[in-house]
Structures are given as structure tokens and as C-alpha cells.
Structure 1
Amino acid sequence: MSDPSSVIDDLHEESEEADRLVARLGPEEWGLATPAAGWSVAHQIAHLAWTDHSALLAVTDGDGFRALVEQALAAPHTFVDEGAEEYARLAPAELLARWRKGRAALENGLRSAPPGARFPWYGPPMSAASMATARLMETWAHGLDIADATGVPRPPTDRLRHVARLGVRTRDFAYGVHGLTPPTDPFRVELVAPGGELWCHGPEDAPQRVTGPALDFCLLVTRRAHRADLALTADGPDADRWLGIAQAFAGPPGSGRPPKEGGRGGQGHTP
């Protein structure tokens, strides 16, 4: 994506929607448990605020971000939770103000990034568009956790096209974090968008195929639902294996949640 403006615009809208979920909550409701084990609503916003700060450092302060990476390498399995826990101790009003300020600064940094710039991250370096896409993916996923905790329905929007595209592009990464060799051939992915149109990725004649609702695919790659609860179809053994390990976010794979009987399951939190 040569011009990141559209995905940054969608990131802004996704953040505003998540903001509306928590802006109306009383102090005690910030302590509501979410589908992510051990995480309250406050932890979800704290994680977004903390990760936005990390992304802002990556965009504006390379040395500062490298120091964060060193901390992550020293405690790879607890680093993310520790960051969320630290921010979650803040009073709700202070945490909300910090998240708003941080995401606005990140948006400004991404919009003013020089064309072609690439920024360090916990995985491969990212362009401004890729960074905005990753932030949108996390904002949507954690916003979904908050909506589940507070009982607020969140109809899917066409902003999911960014999450779906990221899920497709991270296929080989998902194999790698599981210690597996990625397939050499591309897959065909055909997803039915919220508006009914078809979002397609990969060559039409690819023998390995994944089909189904775009929402379900996004729930899968963000580990917000178990595969057994989703209407996704895999044609071919490699495609089938991918749906068992798909992961659109950086970090080690989580254990996930067991399938829920009779309904959609929630699942873990993105690092």
C-alpha cells in the first residue's frame, strides 16, 4: 500500500468505536472480566495504550524502542502482561486520557512519516501502512473483548478488510512461530465481507483454499474464537493445517480457548 492514509483513517474510526465502549463506563465497570483470562476492561485499554506507546517509539525514537525490545527479550512470556498490568493500575479517567493522547500522537506520527519509511518492530520492520494495520487489528480485537464483557453488540464493518489481509499475509509467520516450515505455494482465500461482496487473496487456481465469512476469518487469526465455532472451510491439507495455527499478531502462539458449545467462543489476547 503506497499511500497509508486510508488505513490510518480506518484505524482512527476503529479507535473511536472502541473509545465509545469505555467512555460510558463507571469506575467499577472497568474491572469487569473479559474473555481474556485474567484481563479486565482496564487491562484491555491498558494494553492498547501500552502498545500504542511502543509503536510511537518505533516511529519516532528508534533508540527508545530498541530498549523496549531488550526488555521483551529478557522476559518474552511476561513482558506484554506486565505492561498491561502497569497501565491497568491507573485510575480509569487517567488511563483513558493516556490512551487517547498516545493514539493521537501515533496517528500524527504515521501520517507525517516519510514515504517509504520503515520502522522497527518485534517482528520484521514495518511501513506506516503496516503499522497502522497492525494497530487496527489489535484495536478491533481488544475492542471485541470489551464489547463481550459489557454486553454491547459490535456489528462487523468493512474495516475488517485490513485485518483479513493481515491474516493472509502472516501465513508464513504463523508456521514459523510453531516451528514449522511454511508451504511454498500460495493459497486462495475467499471471504464474504460484511456487506456481501467477496474479498479474494491468492491465485484462483491455487489447490489449497480457505473460504467463509470475513468476520470468522478475522476472529480466527486474532484468536478471538475457536475454529470449531466458525464457518470456515479448508480445502487441502496445508490449508487445513494453517487454520489450526493462524495468527496475525507478533509474539509466541497462545494456547487459545476450547470451543464453546452452541455459540462463538472468545479466545485469549493478542500480545
Structure 2
Amino acid sequence: MREITDFHDEGKELRGLLETLSESDWQRKTLFKDWTVNDVVLHLHCSDISAAASARDPAEYEALRQKIMEVRKGGLSMIEESRLRFPDLKGRALLRRWWDQLEALCDLLATKNPATRLNWAGPGMGVRMFTTARQMETWAHGQEIYDVMGKDRIFHDRLKNIAVIGVKTFGWTFTNRKLPVPVDVPYVRVTGPSGEVWEWNDPTSGTSVEGDAVEFCQVVAQTRNVADTRLAVKGETAQRWMAIAQCFAGPPNDPPAKGTRFKARAA
């Protein structure tokens, strides 16, 4: 399944960056909720553990989810629970554990029928979309690390998987906030890193999002505010969507405020 290769390649590219970090770099605070680099990778690791549990057995996943929620009942945030669960997992030790788990997850997903539905924090997903969701989260959180390290990032056309999730979660973005879903679904036309043009929905809808595919993915994955991009957003529905777009599961999250997420200047 191509999506598994894309997920693995996304992780491999992030691993390449992480291997260049010093021990002190792992404690740098990113622009995402003041999480450190270590927090970001720990979060990805914990998410991959939950994903593997879901792929093995729905009951195992639900038991793990309930255990986590029980710990968080006292008011702990998601990352605080992860730190509590793995208090000594830091730096290069975390890097090795995260990478081993990611590879094991890829192997596990490869044994599944692509049509099989897997449980997750939001609506269940087929294996293909589930795998792309793991790629999306790895890519999105990876951006926080590229940003804080002031590193340029090379983008690839496997980003199209994330753009697809962004388009498919148009309705979810509104439903998740208990808002009526607009009937005029925006036309989306973006250009991938290779120059290939990707299009979805009706070009005569009267509302649209056009521009760079990287920037579209950054907005739907909430690594950038739409106002910090050059996307051409036309029509009320497209503007409302881009203002709250969320292509990942969980409760409603607001996008970063304008000007708050950016690449640091290299030292």
C-alpha cells in the first residue's frame, strides 16, 4: 500500500533531522504550545503506540484509551500524561524508541486489509486513511522542529495524501464544532512540490481555495495561519473553512494566531 511507504518516508525524513540534534536541542521550546522538541517526538511516539493497539485489536485500543483518560481525569493535558507515562524517555533514547515503533506500526498496517476500519479518537477510518492520518501528524508536528531549528524543509508530492485529508475533512471541520455544514463545498486547486496541479470539487461552486499545496496542507493541519500564506481564498464558505480548518481528530482546536508560527533564523 503506497500510503504506508509515504508514512514511512515521512518518518525517515524527520529521523534524519532528529539525528543531527544535540542533547540540548531536544529541550528547545517550539512555537507549538511551548512543547519542547522532546515533547513533540514523545507525542508522536505515544500516538503511534495507540495506532498500533488499534490495528491489533479494537478492545486493546479502547482499554488503552480508557486508561489514558482515567489518568487525565485529574486535569492533566495530553502531553503531561505522556511525560508521566514515559518520564525517562528523552533525546536519542526516545529517537530510537519512536523509530522502532514507527517501523513496527508500518509492518502491522501492511498486514491489514485496506478496507478494514480502525478505531481512533474521532470517527473510525479505513486502513488507508488511517495510515495517511499518521503521515499527516508526523509531517505536521515535524514542522515545529524544522521551525525551531531554523532548517529549510524539502517537500515532496506525497503531501498529496495530506491535501486529500484536508479536502475530505471540510464537513468534519464544521460538524466537530457543532456548526451546520455549508452546502457550497469549495473548489480546491493547488500546485504540488513537483509542479503537478491537484484539483477537487466543482470549479463553478463560487467559493474556492487556490495556491500552493504546501501552504494548503499547513493550514488544514494547523501549522500556519491562513493569513500567513499566499493562498487565494474566495467566497464566504471558503473563508470560514480556512479560518477554522482542522484535518485531525479530537475536539475543536483553533489554528495558530497570525504571525505566531514561523521558521526561526538559523544561528
TM-score by length of 1: 0.89
Q: Is residue 52 of structure 1 aligned with residue 48 of structure 2?
A: yes
Shift of 1:141: 0.8
**1:139-158 correspondence runs (5 A):** 139-158=138-157
Is the contact made by 1:118 and 1:126 (CA closer than 8 Å) also made in structure 2? yes
| Whole-Å separation in 2 of the counterparts to 1:184 and 1:91 | 47
| Whole-Å separation in 1 of the counterparts to 2:233 and 2:114 | 38
| Whole-Å separation in 2 of the counterparts to 1:191 and 1:7 | 20
Is the contact made by 1:44 and 1:84 (CA closer than 8 Å) also made in structure 2? no
Residue in 1 that maps onto 2:62 = 66
Residue in 2 that maps onto 1:215 = 214
Residue in 2 that maps onto 1:172 = 171
Shift of 1:123: 1.2
Is the contact made by 2:244 and 2:255 (CA closer than 8 Å) also made in structure 1? no
- Find 1:39's aligned residue among 35, 38, 57: 35
- State the SS of the aligned residue for 2:242: helix
Provide, for residues 177-206 of structure 1, a one-character-per-residue CA deviation record: whole Å limited to 9, x for no partner.
Answer: 222111134321101111222110112322
Extract unaligned runs of 5+ from structure 2: none
Is the contact made by 1:178 and 1:253 (CA closer than 8 Å) also made in structure 2? yes
CA separation of 1:244 and 1:58: change in aligned 2, threshold 3 A: same
Is the contact made by 1:50 and 1:83 (CA closer than 8 Å) also made in structure 2? no
Identity of matched residues, %: 32
CA separation of 1:91 and 1:69: change in aligned 2, threshold 3 A: closer
How many residues are aligned here? 260
Extract unaligned runs of 5+ from structure 1: none
**1:1-271 correspondence runs (5 A):** 5-71=1-67, 75=72, 78-86=76-84, 87=86, 89-260=88-259, 265-266=261-262
Shift of 1:83: 4.0
| Whole-Å separation in 2 of the counterparts to 1:244 and 1:14 | 27
| Whole-Å separation in 2 of the counterparts to 1:24 and 1:88 | 23
- State the SS of the aligned residue for 1:116: coil
Is the contact made by 1:210 and 1:235 (CA closer than 8 Å) also made in structure 2? yes
Structure 1 counterpart of 2:125, one-letter code: M
Is the contact made by 1:188 and 1:204 (CA closer than 8 Å) also made in structure 2? yes
Is the contact made by 2:40 and 2:141 (CA closer than 8 Å) also made in structure 1? yes
